[in-house]
Each structure stands twice: as structure tokens, then as C-alpha cells.
Amino acid sequence: MSAPVAQEGIADSLSAWRVALASLLLVACGMGIEYLLWSNVKTISDDMGWSRGTTSLAYTLEMLGTGVGGILMGRLTDRTGIIPVVLIGAMMIPAGALTLSHVTEAWQFCLVFGVMIGFLGNATLFAPLIATATRWFDKRRGLAVAIVASGQGLAGMIWPAVFDSLIADYGWRGALFIYGVFAMVTMPPLVLMLYGRPPGWAELATSRVAARLGGVRFGSMAENKPLILLCLAIFCCCIAMAMPLLHVASHARDIGYTSTQGAYLLAWIMALSFVGRLGIGFFADRIGGLNAMLIGSSLQAAGILIMIPFDSLIVLYIGATIFGLGFGGLVPMYAVALRSIYPAHSIGWRVGAIFLFGATGMAIGGQLAGVGFDYMGTYRWAFAVGFAFNVINLAILAMVMSITRRPRMDAVPAAAE
């Protein structure tokens, strides 16, 4: 007797919104550990006697692990569905946090962040859950993807302040231990809320097999031209994005503000990113993913530019507000744009590929800013470099819009599923 097959859902149904809500909460919980590092680079570096560049390397390796793992996990999601993939992360992220609370050497700290938190942790969450959301939704796809991605913003609203309080009472190791226990208790039950198959799952498997037998498993170079350009675009925008995200709390402390003020500045950015993702996702269903990306990228660039020369906390908050709205809405729109160009049966690995380049850009941006601070004693130059990369991102997005709007014989019709 064959095993029962999970019943397929209906696009934009209550089941689809259940999956979106569970995905939002999983991302918010699983990505929380990043914010202990983001808001406490200075604290951990000072406590352990490491340079800012050394501590930032942990973030770099996590981003690379998340990116490389995202492609593999995206392929696995295409084949098995989302639950087995996310279950890996639901076990590894808590285990990684508990392990980090006991490390004594820099290489141990970096290795755990790269493998347990990145490759086997967050790689199972962000890209696979966003790819899955594109399959569950049709009319509200942009909003649904934005809701899932907003888990990162929700995490940023909550965790910096929580970690600041926990570190004050228990130190950063104690904060990691408490977070690990919390994630261990909350994440596995949330995975169970992902049950069911997205609409057309059986047809997706048939399309995937047909593509493989036809020798076009990954598509031709011409077909993947928009994908390649979008990979370059997200690489540039994430270099720009990472520099304020990873270092703005430390920058605030360096120019005379307290650790709490720095943590709240980062939390404000993430709170606005939550609003930006929902807002830009809402408009993406009306103006298209690429147009929405242009809006997000322009706001991000403006926010970075404002934060470069000023020490005033009010001005920093103005720049942080614009930056948060822009970066929050920008990243998830890459998946929406991909889904409008490519068929659903191959979207998992393509979203993974996009986020590999995004994670690589985040890793390079965060590391450059950390190493640069060690040499220059300030983060201002890094924000200026980030602004330049953001301008390049805008130029590449304009190229993608030009390519996808004119008729092309080599285009892959999104309806060919």
C-alpha cells in the first residue's frame, strides 16, 4: 500500500495564509540570533579581545553558509516540500545558539555561525519559505512574500532590545543560552503548521521531470539572463545594506551614544523594514515586482546617504527611517520578480541562487565595514561605499526591466508550468 499523499491546497486560500503566518513566525524566531551579533559586535569584541573584523567574520561566514545552503535547500524544497527542509533548521539553530554560549576561541565562534546558524540553519528558512509562498499565492503573491520576509523585520523589532536586556543581566553567553532554549521550544511546533501541498504540486513534479528529460534542468544561458542580472543586482544592494545593518549600533556608540540607544536605532530600522515590506509588497501586486524594487532601492540609497555625515541622533533616525522602509521592501521583491519570469517548478533553486548572491553581498559588506573600521576608526567611509554600490544596483535593475519588457524569443513564459 502506498503512503498517503498530502492534499493539495488552493491558491490564496485560508490554508495558504496559514502557511504564510507560520513562515513569518519561523523566520522571526530563527533569524533572531543574528541580531545578538548585529547589535553587539563591539560588546563581543571587547569581551573576547577580538578585533571588529574578527567578530564580523562570523557574520560573513553565516551569510555565505546561508547563501550556499539556500540553493541546496531550495532544490530539496522543489523535490520534497517545505517541512523536511525547515525541520533541519528548527533543530540546528537552537543547537547552534547553545553551542555558541560555550565557545572560547574565535574560530569556534565563526565556525558555528557559518555551519550551524548559516548553512544548516537560516538556509532552511528564508529562501525556501519565500519560494514556497510564491507557489501558494496567485493574486496576493507580492503581499504574501512580503509577509514571510517580514519575519526578519519582526525579529529586528523584538530581538535587539531583548538581547540588550538579557546581556545586561546575564552577559552575551547567557543571552545566547536563553535564546537557544526558547527557539528549541517554539520552532518545531511552528513547522507543523506548514502541512499540506501548494496548489498544482503534482503538476510541478511532472514539469520538473519533463524539463530534466528535455535537457533543460537549469535553462539556457539566454533564458537565465534576467536571473544573472538580478543576482548581480542583489549582490550590490546587499553590500550597501549590510554596512548599516551590522554596524549602525556600534557606529552610534562610537559617536557618543549608549549601547541601548544603538540597539534601539537598529530596532527602529527593523521595525520600519517590517512596514516597508508589507507596503511595497502590497504595491507590487499592482505595479509589478521590478517597479517595486526600484522604489525600495531608491529609498535605501537615500537613507544611507543621510546617515554618512551627521552625528545628530535625530538625523540618524531620519536616515534610518528611509533606509528601513527601502531595504525592507527591496529584498523579497526579487522572488516576486523571479516568479513573474520563470515557471513554478524551478523557482526554488532560482530563489536560492538569488539569495546566495545576496548573502555574499551581505557578507562582503559587513566584513568590509568591520575591517575598514579597524584601519580607519570610523564607519563613515563604509556607508559611502555602500551608497555607491546602491547606485550600481539601480542601474542593473533598469537593465532587467528593459530586457523583460521587450519581446524575446528566448524568454521563459511564466505560465509554461
Please report whether residue 416 resides in a domain. Answer: no
Average pLDDT over residues 115-125: 93
Residue listed under C-alpha cell 552577559: 171
| Domain region containing 154 | 14-404
Please report whether residue 2 resides in a domain. Answer: no
The Cα–Cα gap between 284 and 291 comes to 7
Please report whether residue 77 resides in a domain. Answer: yes
Residue 273's nearest CA partner among 303, 253, 251 is: 303
Q: Of 153-162, 165-174, 341-350, give the lowest mean pLDDT range.
A: 341-350
Residue 97's nearest CA partner among 30, 186, 191 is: 30
Q: Which residue has the higher pLDDT, 10 or 240?
A: 240
Question: Residue 75 burial by CB count (10 A; 0-12/13-18/19+): exposed, middle or buried?
Answer: middle
Written as nine digits, the cell of 387 is 551608497
Residue-wise pLDDT tens digits, 62-83: 888 988 888 888 888 888 889 9
Residue-wise pLDDT tens digits, 238-279: 999 888 887 888 888 888 888 888 878 888 887 888 888 888
Q: What is the Cα Rg of the chain in Å?
A: 20
Work out the percent of the chain whose per-residue pLDDT is above 90: 31
Please report whether residue 22 resides in a domain. Answer: yes
Asked if 325 and 279 touch (Cβ cutoff 8 Å), the reply is yes
Written as nine digits, the cell of 37 is 551579533
Residue listed under C-alpha cell 555607491: 388
Q: Of 88-92, 246-250, 316-320, 384-388, give the lowest mean pLDDT range.
A: 246-250
Q: What is the mean pLDDT of the chain?
A: 83
Residue-wise pLDDT tens digits, 355-414: 888 878 887 888 788 777 777 778 888 888 889 999 999 999 999 988 877 544 344 444
Please report whether residue 415 resides in a domain. Answer: no
The Cα–Cα gap between 375 and 51 comes to 11
| Confidence category of residue 206, pLDDT binned at 50, 70, 90 | low
| Beta bridge partner(s), residue 197 | 8
Three-state SS for 361? helix
What are φ and ψ of residue 62, in 5° steps? -65, -45
End-to-end CA gap in the chain: 30
Please report whether residue 413 resides in a domain. Answer: no
Please report whether residue 30 resides in a domain. Answer: yes
Asked if 122 and 30 touch (Cβ cutoff 8 Å), the reply is yes
Which helix (H) or strand (E) element contains residue 407?
Answer: none
For residue 274, the domain's CATH number is 1.20.1250.20
Residue-wise pLDDT tens digits, 160-169: 888 988 998 9
Please report whether residue 59 resides in a domain. Answer: yes
Alpha carbon 415 to chain centroid distance? Answer: 27
Asked if 85 and 76 touch (Cβ cutoff 8 Å), the reply is yes
Q: Of 18-22, 95-99, 160-164, 198-202, give the lowest mean pLDDT range.
A: 198-202
pLDDT surpasses 50 at 229: yes
Asked if 205 and 111 touch (Cβ cutoff 8 Å), the reply is no
The total number of structural domains that make up the chain: 1
The Cα–Cα gap between 391 and 294 comes to 11
